[in-house]
Amino acid sequence: MKRRSLLLTGAAAGGALLVGWGALPPRSRLGQAGLWSSQTGEVALNGWIKVAGDGTVVLAMNRSEMGQGVHTALAMLVAEELDVPLERVRLQQAGHDAIFGSAESFVGFLPFHGDDREPGQETAFFRGARWVTLKLARELGINITGGSASVADAWEPLRLAAATARARLLGVASLRWKLPVAELEVQDGAVSHASGPRAHYGELAAQAALSPPGDVTLKSRANFRVIGKPAQRVDLAAKCDGRAVFGLDVRLPGLLYASVVHAPMLGGSIGTVDVGAALQRPGVERVVRLPPLGGADAALAVVGRTTWHAREAARALPVQWREPPSGPLDSKRIEAALETAARAAQLRDGGFTFHSRGDSRVALAGAAKRVDALYRAPYLAHATMEPMNCTARVRDGRVEVWAPTQVPGLARDAAAQVAGVAPEAVTLHVTYLGGGFGRRLEVDVVAQAVRVALETAGRPVQLNWSREEDFTHDFYRPAGVALLRAGIGADGRVSAFEAHSAGDALEPRWMQRALPALAGPFDAPDKTTVEGLYDLPYAIEPQRIAHVATHSGVPIGNWRSVGHSHNAFFAESFIDELAHAAGVDALRFRLDLLRQRPRHAAVLNLAAQRAGWGQKLPAGRARGLALHESFGSIVAQVLEVSLAGKQPRVHRVVCALDCGIVVHPQGVQQQVESSVIFGLSAALYGRIDIEGGAVKQKNFPDYPLLTLAQTPIIETHALPSDAAPTGMGEPALPPVAPALANALFALTGHRLRELPLMPLLASLRA
């Protein structure tokens, strides 16, 4: 099946579901005031906005704060359109209504090529598929904080909700004072008229709730007073004095603590266990057998009076574990099998073709020069600083859950299923997340916590994983292998490009765990396996990009930037190889291939210019560059690198980007710093090995992260834009590894084609 027919099948299925409910007018996305649980003195003006008696604006916050600054960015959108200072916007966790669901993330799953979706030049086919997908997604109302989509998703509905609320408040003032709306002024949440009357929102809200909004227009960029301007994150103070409540900080009267131990082997199960020995220990209340839940393996949970008591008992638990029926997993063997699969696909035009144009095989045969390369990427762990946990209480037929989760609705569904109650009987509180990076798109710990809470007679339980459990029972970034080849003509231009890659499809696995209702009987081709490889921005003709989706049995999931995290390394390292083979400067080579992509060229030029590309560096230093688009944002980076012995030192990272309108400039800057550092940790050191069925890396000493002392200077330069915003939580990560490898090539003359880079670098002869 080719990409286009797959899309059409999906669109037809979608179309069938569309019958009966028609098109949703934008205003219905504002929701009803009745969605709110209102407190005394607060008046809801729609599903998103309430006004408190003192004029404070309350925003229904549907997205989870995991460090990416989303609470601040979304509050800024509302502050802008309501003309209130950011400090006057208070956040209250949103409910589970469909208006709070995600839409843009689902569009991101569509395997469209950049040629179809370049803003302003979208094909009719893409526009149609996007429309259907958005409609479907809004009907489903699945709330995901992920896919760098929160600001893009909120851009229209949140500003519209705020502007509509403002129009109603103004309308009331106009009626009350018998003055035309056009003559009224709004500042800091107060409406006034030059002739004297003045009232703050709190004094107008009750009447506004009963009046129609009238005409609503959104501000143009020139009139922004909040968007794109400096703003302080709304969560800073609480995160500097210990007050911020993460999942592990929930404290309730009578709270018990449950520590989980899984079988050391992935997929293993519990044989025999001597529970009596554990119960003899001080502070231990009980031991609960956990069946496989939410994708987690079978496990034991020791319930104790403190985390320490529970954990010490769990550690000492005499258990005989069982191997998985399929035998122990081994990552070396899996990686060898991936290479075999990719080679077979290359030999026989195999795999699922995500993109092809022209006859690459013929063109390759006739090329003046051929470049062939094999690239590899390992499994990776998320290693959020806050290990996995969830707190639950089951009492009187009701379930209450406190979870640091990226998927509150799916978490609620999982809790309901385990407890055997309707989702409406579950109250879910989203805490701050001590990092997410895709790990908290899973519901495994939520299901485990509720399962344990069913056995504690109404007492609340905080279920926690040790760091060792967190490392050894993650849903890992899948390992991948890509065979790339290209031809270079006598004129020095690329005359053909082919990619044959192999690796597990991850989204079908995630769907089975977190969204079983939508998981199909067979795996649809997973775009994330090839994202960033099948949709190169470069004008290369002909080309063919195919992928062999495997099923290795290793638990895999979404890891910050997903498929882009390794495909950018493959693609942008290989482009560098081609530039070198053609004898052309890496910047000029790329620009030459970007003549039809002015946005990409502008970003690349900006990075090169700010980094001083082509200018002399001190001896022993070299630059590497990479360009990559992901989640709708384009990022180019230039890294300045030296080597002290075999230890690389990154001195400076210049990052240029186009993410449409920048809502929160420091937020974007923070996310660039975050992604660069996350990306450097992975590029230099990140790897998870599975030996004898068990994950070898068990704690931070086995899985090094970049330290403060190693952190380079990071500069962020955003291109001015009038386009709707796209995400920045992930897009600055993918270019890091290839830019680093390209710099190391410039330094050493060795092309490092395998992540992480350190082992290969260490093996080079001095």
Partner 1 sequence: MNLTINDRTVSVDDALADPSMPLLWVLRDVLQMTGTKYGCGVAACGACTVQVDGEPVRSCVTPLSALQGKRVRTIEGLAGPGGPHPLQQAWVEQQVPQCGYCQSGMLMAAAALLEANREPSDGDIDAAITNLCRCGSYPRVRSAIKAAARQLAPRRRPSKP
* Residues binding partner 1 (CB under 8 A): 65-69, 232-233, 235-246, 248-249, 251, 257, 282-283, 305-308, 383-387, 432-437, 466-468, 666, 670, 673-678, 699-701, 705-709, 711, 713-714
Give the residue with the Cβ less far from partner 1, 242 or 583. Answer: 242
CB nearer to partner 1: pick between 202 and 734: 734
Give the per-residue SS3 of 45-95.
Answer: CCCCEEECCCCCEEEEECCCCCCCCHHHHHHHHHHHHHCCCHHHEEEEECC
**Smaller CB separation from partner 1, 27 or 652:** 652
Taking the complex as a whole, the smallest distance from the CB of residue 311 to partner 1 amounts, in Å, to 8
State the minimum distance, in angstroms, from the CB of residue 734 to partner 1.
Answer: 15
Residue 540 has which token pair? Answer: 């290369």
- Paired sense of beta strands 690-691 and 694-695, if any: antiparallel
Shortest spacing between CB 659 and partner 1, in angstroms: 17
Amino acid at 93: Q
Residue closer to partner 1 (CB basis): 76 or 82: 76
Smallest separation (angstroms) from partner 1 to the CB of 246: 6
Smallest gap, in angstroms, from Cβ of residue 402 to partner 1? 13
Nearest distance, CB of residue 310 and partner 1, angstroms:
9
Is the CB of 630 or the CB of 716 nearer to partner 1? 716
| Bridge-based pairing state of the strands 256-262 and 461-464 | parallel
> Of the two residues 361 and 649, which places its CB atom closer to partner 1 in the complex?
649
- Provide the b/e sequence for 415-445 (b: ≥16 CB within 10 Å): bbbbbebeeebbebebbbbbbbbbbbbbbbb
Looking at the Cβ atoms of 67 and 557, the one nearer to partner 1 is 67
Cα 250 from Cα 259, distance rounded (Å): 15
Minimum distance of partner 1 from residue 707's CB (angstroms): 7
Q: Is the dihedral of CA 150, 156, 161, 163 positive or negative?
A: positive
Beta strand pairing call for 647-658 and 713-718: parallel
Nearer to partner 1, 442 or 673 (CB): 673
Choice between 237 and 365, CB closer to partner 1: 237
The nearer residue to partner 1, 238 or 336, going by C-beta atoms, is 238
Query: What stretches of 593-712 adopt beta strand conformation (E)?
Result: 621-630, 633-644, 647-658, 690-691, 694-695
Query: Taking phi first (over 0 means left), then psi (-120 to 50 degrees means alpha), and beta for anything else, what does residue 196 get?
Result: left
Peptide bond before residue 756 is cis, with ω within 30 degrees of 0: yes
Nearer of residues 10 and 247 to partner 1, judged by Cβ? 247
CA distances from 606 to 455, 539, 737 (A): 60, 20, 20
Smallest CA-to-CA distance from 634 within 670, 598, 664, 663 is with: 598
For the bound state, the minimum distance from the C-beta of residue 388 to partner 1, rounded and expressed in Å, comes to: 12
The span from the first CA to the last CA of the chain, in angstroms, equals 49
Closest distance of CB 387 from partner 1, Å: 7
Q: Strand 352-357 and strand 543-550: pairing?
A: antiparallel
Nearest distance from C-beta of residue 636 to partner 1, angstroms? 19
Give the separation between CA 12 and CA 347, rounded to whole angstroms. Answer: 34
Spatial neighbors of 217 by CB under 8 A, at least 6 apart, are 163
Instruction: Give the separation between CA 537 and CA 601, rounded to whole angstroms.
Output: 10
Q: How far is the CB of 308 from partner 1 (least distance, A)?
A: 4
Decide whether 497 or 631 has the Cβ nearer to partner 1: 631
How far is 652 from 658, CA to CA, in rounded Å?
A: 20
Q: Select 267 or 434, whichever has its Cβ closest to partner 1.
A: 434
CA angle 378, 383, 385 (to 5 degrees): 160
**What stretches of 381-477 adopt beta strand conformation (E)?**
389-395, 398-403, 426-430, 461-464
At its nearest, how many Å lie between partner 1 and the CB of residue 389?
9
CB of 411 to partner 1, least distance (A): 18
At 412, is the secondary structure helix, strand, or coil? helix
